[in-house]
Structure 1
Amino acid sequence: MKTIRKAMLASLSLSCLLFGAAHANPRADALMKSFDTNGDGKISTDEWLGNKRRFQKIDANGDGFVTPEELAAAFDNAAAGAGPAGEGGAGGAKANSSEPHKVPLFQLKNVNSQAFLSGKTPKEQMHAIGMQESGLTAVFPQGGGCHPIDHVFGEVWQGGPDKNKLHSGADIPAGYGEPIHAMADGVVVAKADGGGEGPRKNRGVLIVLQHSPQDSGLPVWSYTLYSHFSKAPELEIGQRVRMGEYLGPNGRSGVPGASREPHLHLSAFIGESPRYAVANDTVVPEGGRFIDPIALFRGQLPMDTALMRELPAEQKLIPAAYKRKSGEIVPAGAKLIWPFLCKG
C-alpha cells in the first residue's frame, strides 16, 4: 500500500509540475473558458477571437491549437514583460487614461462574445441578444428631408459573402463623400481601416463611439458604429466628439458587390456598464445587446428588440431628431440626431 501511495503522490507531483502553471493563472483559465466553445480543453484557430498573429505566438508547438499550458506560459511571459497574451496584453491591469473603461475580453461579465465577434454564431443566439427585425420606422418632424434606411436592422442578408446572415445594422444610402456626423456626444473607442479580421472585415473603414447616459440622455451606456467611409476619420482613440461633429466622408469601403451604392452601415448596441473590450476592431460591451438604431430615438427603456416587435403598429413610428444643413437641431434640445444632415 505504501508503494502504491508513493507512486500516486509522485504522479500527482509530476502533474502539478506539468500543468500547475495553467491552473494557477486565473486569467488564462478565464480566457480558455471564454474561447473554448466546444469544450475540448483547447482553443482552435476558428474559436480564437483575438488577433491571429497573437494566436501564432502563443501556439508554441505550432499545431494549430492553444492549450491551457501554452496560454498560461504566454500570460507569465507577458507579466514578465516578454510580450502580449491574448487581447489586451498581460490582462490590462493598468488602465489607459484615454480608455478608462476598456478591459480585456475575458474580464467582461454577462456577455456573449461569440455573438459580437464570430460571423458563424447561430441565428437563435443572435436573436437572443437582440439581432432581429424590430419593425421600427424613423419619421422626421417638419418634413425632415433626411436620407431613409433601405436595408433594415436584423433582416436576413442576401448579398455577397454574408448571404443568409443577419444584418447587424441599418443601411442608409447617401452620396459618395457626403459628410457623416456623430449622433450624440461620445468618445471614440475603436476604429479600423478595413483590413481587419472576423465579421467586421466587410465593414471597411469604420469608427465606434461610446455614449454615456449623460451624453445621449438614455438610461444606459450605448454605442454607435459607423462604417463604409471612403477614407479614415481623422479622430483618435479616446477623443471626445460632440453631437453633430463631422466624422468622415460616406463611401463604400468593404462593400461586397459592384452594384451596391455608397451607404452608411449604422449599428447600435447597449451595455449594462461602461466596461467594454476591443478585439479585431470590434467593440464588445459588458452585458451587451444589439438594438435597432431607430430604438435609440425612443429616449427611454425598453429598447430590447423582442419588446419592440410587440409594440402596436402606431408605436413603431419613432420620431427621429436631426440636424439641418443650416445647423438647426429639430426638435431643439435633442441629444441624439440622424447621422446625415437633412434638407428640411
Structure 2
Amino acid sequence: MRNSQTGLHSARILLFAMIGTVITYQTVAFAQNRSASVMEKLDKDQDGKISRKEWRKKNIFAEVDLDKDGSISLNELKQRFGETEESNNEDRPDPVSMAAIRRSKLDDVIHQKSRGLFETGLKPIWRDDVICRGIDEWYGKDYTPVRPKESYHGGIDLPAPFGTPVLAIMDGEVIALYEGKKNPRGIEVVLRHTPEESGLPFYLYSRYTHFDSMPKLIKGQQIKMGEVIGETGNTGVQGCELKGIPCKRPRRSVTHYDILYSISEKYYDTGNILVPFEAHWMDPIALYRKQPPFDSHSMRALPEVEKMIAISYKLDSGEYYPADTKMIWPYSCRKK
C-alpha cells in the first residue's frame, strides 16, 4: 500500500513538473513575439518605429525611448519586454521582476501574481486602549471590474486628513524620490531597509505615495524609524484624467503604502519607479508578524484566526509599542 501511495505521489510531482514546463515554454514563446506584435499593432505608418503620437501610454514614452530620438524602435521594445541580452545583463532586473513591479499597460498580470500580488485576507488589529488609522483599500483588492484590464491593488490605502505626518516604518535609507506629475502614484518616497535594520533575512523596500508636496529629503539620506518623511496628500493622476474625461470627484487624502522584498541588495531605478532585483510583493500587514513566512501564498493559507495581525506602532506622545520594536505603522496612534 505504501509503495502504491509513493508511486502516486511521484506521478503527481512529474505531472506538475510537466505542466510547469509547458506553461514556462508558452510564457517565454509569448514574450519572444511580444515586441514584434506591439510594433505591428502600433506602427500605423509602417516606418519601422513608433512615434509619440502612435504610442498609446504617453506617460511612459520617455522611459521606453532609450536613445531619446523621439521614437521607439523594435530593439527598444525588446529591451522593454526583456527579449534581449542587454536587458538581462547585470544592470537590469530579470524580466519577470520588471513586469511584476512596473505593472505597465503592456505587462502581463501573471507575473504580478507569480511574485505575490493577490489578496491574502490579513487584517490589522491594535490594543484596545489606542486609536490608530486603519485601511479602506486592502492589499490585492480586485480592481478588474472598474479597470480596462485585470488589475489588483499593490499595497494598502490609509486615509487621513491633508497634512497628517507620514512616518518611516523602520530605520532605512532614502533611495528614490518621484514627483509623479503624470503618474497615478503622485509624489512618492522609497526607503530601503537592510537585514540588519529590519532583523529579517532579506532587503525590504517600503514605498509611500500621494504626498501633499515633495518631502524635504535627499537620496542617500539615512532615516530613523518613526521619523516624519512627508505629509498626507492626494497627488497623482486619476484614471479619469488619463482617459481625458472630467473626474466626478478628486482623490481623497490618503497614503498608499506597500512593501517589496528581495534576497538581493540590488535595485533598478527607471526614473519613474524602483524595481528590486528578484523582487516580490508582500502584503504590508504580513511584515508585522515579524517572523517568517511572509510570502502571499503562505499568508493566504493561514487559518482565519491567524490572519488577525497585531500591529506595532508609535504613539503621538513618542512612545513605541512594543518598546523594542524594529517596525511601526506609517501613522502614529493615540491613547483613548
TM-score range, shorter chain: 0.7 to 0.9
1:293 matches 2:278: no
In structure 2, the CA distance between the partners of 1:142 and 1:54, relative to structure 1 (3 Å rule), is closer
SS class of match (2:166): strand
1:116 matches 2:88: no
SS class of match (2:129): coil
Deviation at 1:119, TM superposition (A): 2.7
SS class of match (2:151): coil
| RMSD of aligned Cα (Å) | 3.4
Residue matched to 2:209: 227
Question: Which has the larger Rg?
Answer: 1
In structure 2, the CA distance between the partners of 1:111 and 1:122, relative to structure 1 (3 Å rule), is closer
Measured in 1, the distance between the counterparts of 2:38 and 2:68 equals 11
Deviation at 1:56, TM superposition (A): 4.3
Measured in 2, the distance between the counterparts of 1:145 and 1:209 equals 26
Deviation at 1:238, TM superposition (A): 0.9
Of 142, 167, 181, which residue of structure 2 is paired with 1:156? 142
Measured in 2, the distance between the counterparts of 1:41 and 1:162 equals 20
Deviation at 1:125, TM superposition (A): 2.4
Residue matched to 1:343: 334
Deviation at 1:115, TM superposition (A): 1.8
Measured in 1, the distance between the counterparts of 2:319 and 2:97 equals 40
Of 202, 217, 226, which residue of structure 1 is paired with 2:199? 217
Residue matched to 1:129: 115
Tell me the amino acid that sits aligned with residue 274 of structure 1.
E
Tell me the amino acid that sits aligned with residue 138 of structure 1.
P
1:323 matches 2:314: yes
Tell me the amino acid that sits aligned with residue 325 of structure 1.
D
TM-score (norm 2): 0.72
In structure 2, the CA distance between the partners of 1:36 and 1:237, relative to structure 1 (3 Å rule), is farther
Residue matched to 1:304: 295
In structure 2, the CA distance between the partners of 1:159 and 1:254, relative to structure 1 (3 Å rule), is farther
In structure 2, the CA distance between the partners of 1:152 and 1:188, relative to structure 1 (3 Å rule), is same
Residue matched to 1:67: 75
Residue identity over aligned pairs, in percent, reads: 31
Residue matched to 1:276: 267
TM-score (norm 1): 0.71
Contact kept? 1:181, 1:244, Cα under 8 Å: yes
Contact kept? 1:49, 1:279, Cα under 8 Å: no
In structure 2, the CA distance between the partners of 1:206 and 1:221, relative to structure 1 (3 Å rule), is same
Tell me the amino acid that sits aligned with residue 133 of structure 1.
E
Residue matched to 1:139: 125
- Unaligned stretches of 5+ in structure 2? 1-30, 40-48, 80-85, 239-246
1:172 matches 2:158: yes
Deviation at 1:109, TM superposition (A): 4.8
Deviation at 1:142, TM superposition (A): 4.5
Residue matched to 1:38: 34
Measured in 1, the distance between the counterparts of 2:197 and 2:61 equals 35
Measured in 2, the distance between the counterparts of 1:125 and 1:54 equals 20
Measured in 1, the distance between the counterparts of 2:148 and 2:94 equals 29
- Unaligned stretches of 5+ in structure 1? 1-34, 73-90, 92-102
Contact kept? 1:58, 1:71, Cα under 8 Å: no
Deviation at 1:341, TM superposition (A): 0.7
Tell me the amino acid that sits aligned with residue 212 of structure 1.
T
> How many equivalent pairs are there?
276
